[in-house]
Homo-oligomer: A and B are copies of this chain.
Amino acid sequence: MTALTRRRFLEAVGLAGGAGAMFHTMGALGLVPEADATPFVPPREGDLAAGRRGRRVLVLGAGIAGLATAYELGKAGYDCVVLEAGERAGGRVWTVRGGDRARDLDGHVQTANFAEGRYFNAGAARIAQSMITLDYCRELGIAIEPFAGQNANAHLYDEKVSDRPTTMRAVKADVFGHLSELLAKATDRGALDGELTGDDKERLLGFLEHFGDIGGEDDGFAYRGGSRRGYSVLPGAGTEEGKVLGPPEALSRVFSRGLDRVFDFELDFEYAMMMFQVVGGTDRIPSALASAVGARRIRYGCEVRSIRNREDGVEVDYREPGGAVRVERGDYCVAALPPHVLARLDHNLGPAVTAALATPVANPVGKLGLEYGRRWWEQDLRLYGGITRTDLDIHQIWFPSSGLHSDGGVVVGYYNIDSLTEPYDRMAPDDRLRRALDQGARIYGDVYRRDVRSSFSVAWSRVPHIGGGWVTWPSEDSPEYRLLTRPAGRVHFAGDWLSHWISWQDGAFLSARKAVTEIHRRVAAG
């Protein structure tokens, strides 16, 4: 074991091992791998002199940020203590299974009755390819599988436009058809001659004909629908040629729809397919992290009351499960609690920190797990996974991406935020269920109520020690945000709320890596 000089350490951080060379080669090919701004080098046993290995770090909160902090620091032999107010690891990574019981801030108690093997990801549920969450899954041996974020057979239900749902497939075909017809006409009329060369025009018209499935010039570039909308009668064997679903929706009506609901999950960087989920439930991530950190280092039921920087360390008061108040001391602290929870603690970090912690606003977020005894969406509608979108306040219905063809499964009956979820926040679980079933039945009919076996709803604003789905900063890059990205003495802050991936596990992991790197650098520098 050798002592690490500051210079060697910084070199290592800068080079990021073999990845740098690889990225260089790929960059030359134009493959553009998405580089991390600061490639992360996990702390290693050999980085520190023997005397510095035992540095004690108090980690507040056993959510992803806290667990990842303890996990990474543990690789270099830091002595971490994780204090968690709740009874489980994961925070907003919460997978509800049969037998699980929870009481919310309003005193509502729910027990999940899901059958063996069925679960409901009440919080984090999906992972984008770019996210280091996948790297942690690989490192920790957690199996992943595709998440059906986009499905042509899922539905769009805009009650403001029509009392009938339509498939995503049909809406997309109509949008692209009408767009193509309009643009082809405008191009043909010369309205874009300033923008397009003759070659451009020819190529564009050729593209639009295919992209919009529209007629040619002789046909006035007319969009008249086609098989991309789907079929009312499927083509079959022999002479059964099927019947295309038609006619297309009129232009005025299509563009009255909430089309962002069709395209944001297809185009936005975080949502574009492929997406992934954890086999068996997202909580396998915090479970694996907690196992790697070690049970003896995580204290559940311990609610932090105060944080104080002292001359030679950090002091944290917390209430034990029995009610007694205890003091824990460490060399550094990583405060990985939500900002609105931290804002309520007693501390000596100064008034600017107090003000900054009170700045982000916690967003209410709600989610309902509906267990069905029969997969009617697969059997009756040939809908295998995917997300139905609506202007009703249930906002989204998620059909399960796994357990395909099994007897039943858990559907997400609503996933909504802010004003959409507020009515549900105020309700008892039974009333939430009733409201969600009423709305779902407006889309899917009686089948939506039939075969419901059980349910479990979460109003994140009402979850003890968490109090919100995620936070919103009043402005990006505000002085308050910047202040908290820097340590307050020996106290470092971490969480998705201090990243550019708020509400994603990725943000929590990235933020933990930042705190870990900074602490390790301080310790190494001595």
Interface of A toward B, CB cutoff 8 Å: 22, 25-26, 28-38, 129-130, 134, 137-138, 143-146, 148, 150-153, 155, 162, 164-167, 169, 172-173, 176, 179, 182-183, 185-187, 189, 191-192, 195-197, 199-200, 203-204, 207, 210-211, 213, 227-228, 230-242, 245, 251-252, 255-256, 259-260, 263-264, 267-269, 272-274, 276, 380-386, 401, 404-405, 443-447, 476-477, 482, 485, 494, 498-501, 507, 510-511, 513-514
Q: Shortest CB–CB separation between residue A146 and chain B, in angstroms?
A: 4
Can you identify 25 A-B contacts, CB atoms within 8 angstroms?
A: A31-B155, A31-B445, A32-B167, A33-B381, A34-B232, A35-B232, A36-B236, A129-B384, A130-B153, A143-B405, A148-B273, A169-B272, A179-B183, A182-B195, A189-B191, A191-B191, A199-B252, A203-B252, A203-B256, A207-B255, A227-B268, A237-B494, A241-B477, A273-B273, A274-B385
Question: What CA separation (Å) do A31 and B145 show in the bound complex?
Answer: 28
Question: What CA separation (Å) do A88 and B239 show in the bound complex?
Answer: 31
Question: What CA separation (Å) do A269 and B162 show in the bound complex?
Answer: 24
Q: Enumerate chain B residues within 8 angstroms of A192, measured Cβ to Cβ.
A: 182, 185-186, 191
Q: Enumerate chain B residues within 8 angstroms of A150, measured Cβ to Cβ.
A: 150, 273-274
Q: Shortest CB–CB separation between residue A181 and chain B, in angstroms?
A: 8
Is A444 within 8 A of B31, CB to CB?
A: yes
Is B35 within 8 A of A233, CB to CB?
A: yes
Is B203 within 8 A of A255, CB to CB?
A: yes
Is A386 within 8 A of B255, CB to CB?
A: no
Kindly identify which residue among B176, B183, B241, B276 contacts A186, using a CB–CB cutoff of 8 Å. Answer: B183
Q: Enumerate chain B residues within 8 angstroms of A196, measured Cβ to Cβ.
A: 182, 251
Question: What CA separation (Å) do A239 and B38 show in the bound complex?
Answer: 11
Question: What CA separation (Å) do A238 and B28 show in the bound complex?
Answer: 29
Number of copies: 2
Is B34 within 8 A of A231, CB to CB?
A: yes
Which residue from chain B places its CB closest to the CB of A512 in the assembled complex?
B237
Is B32 within 8 A of A151, CB to CB?
A: no
Kindly identify which residue among B176, B189, B232, B237 contacts A32, using a CB–CB cutoff of 8 Å. Answer: B232
Q: Enumerate chain B residues within 8 angstroms of A499, measured Cβ to Cβ.
A: 235-238
- Would you list the 7 A-B pairs with minimal beta carbon distance, nearest first? A30-B164, A191-B191, A235-B500, A186-B186, A152-B272, A238-B485, A146-B146
Q: A153-B274, A200-B251 are in contact. Are A263 and B211 (CB under 8 A)?
A: yes
Question: What CA separation (Å) do A97 and B210 show in the bound complex?
Answer: 39
Kindly identify which residue among B38, B167, B191, B239 contacts A236, using a CB–CB cutoff of 8 Å. Answer: B38
Q: Enumerate chain B residues within 8 angstroms of A130, measured Cβ to Cβ.
A: 153, 230-231, 234, 382
Q: Enumerate chain B residues within 8 angstroms of A382, measured Cβ to Cβ.
A: 33-34, 129-130, 134
Q: A207-B259, A240-B37, A499-B238 are in contact. Are A445 and B155 (CB under 8 A)?
A: no
Q: Shortest CB–CB separation between residue A513 and chain B, in angstroms?
A: 7
Question: What CA separation (Å) do A166 and B32 show in the bound complex?
Answer: 8
Is B237 within 8 A of A513, CB to CB?
A: yes
Question: What CA separation (Å) do A274 and B273 show in the bound complex?
Answer: 10
Q: A30-B166, A211-B259 are in contact. Are A144 and B232 (CB under 8 A)?
A: no
Question: What CA separation (Å) do A298 and B167 show in the bound complex?
Answer: 43
Q: Shortest CB–CB separation between residue A229 and chain B, in angstroms?
A: 8
Q: Shortest CB–CB separation between residue A519 and chain B, in angstroms?
A: 14
Could you list 6 further interchain pairs (A-B, Cβ under 8 angstroms) beyond the known A210-B263, A211-B267?
Answer: A37-B234, A146-B146, A146-B401, A150-B150, A203-B252, A274-B385
Which residue from chain B places its CB closest to the CB of A511 in the assembled complex?
B237
Q: Enumerate chain B residues within 8 angstroms of A28, measured Cβ to Cβ.
A: 445
Is A26 within 8 A of B272, CB to CB?
A: no
Q: A146-B146, A510-B236 are in contact. Are A197 and B252 (CB under 8 A)?
A: yes
Most buried by B among A148, A234, A381, A499: A234
Q: Shortest CB–CB separation between residue A128 and chain B, in angstroms?
A: 9
Is B164 within 8 A of A446, CB to CB?
A: no
Kindly identify which residue among B31, B166, B173 contacts A381, using a CB–CB cutoff of 8 Å. Answer: B31
Q: Shortest CB–CB separation between residue A363 and chain B, in angstroms?
A: 19
Is B513 within 8 A of A26, CB to CB?
A: no
Q: Shortest CB–CB separation between residue A47 and chain B, in angstroms?
A: 21
Question: What CA separation (Å) do A507 and B242 show in the bound complex?
Answer: 13
Question: What CA separation (Å) do A165 and B500 show in the bound complex?
Answer: 28
Is A500 within 8 A of B242, CB to CB?
A: yes
Q: Enumerate chain B residues within 8 angstroms of A210, measured Cβ to Cβ.
A: 259-260, 263-264
Q: Shortest CB–CB separation between residue A20 and chain B, in angstroms?
A: 12
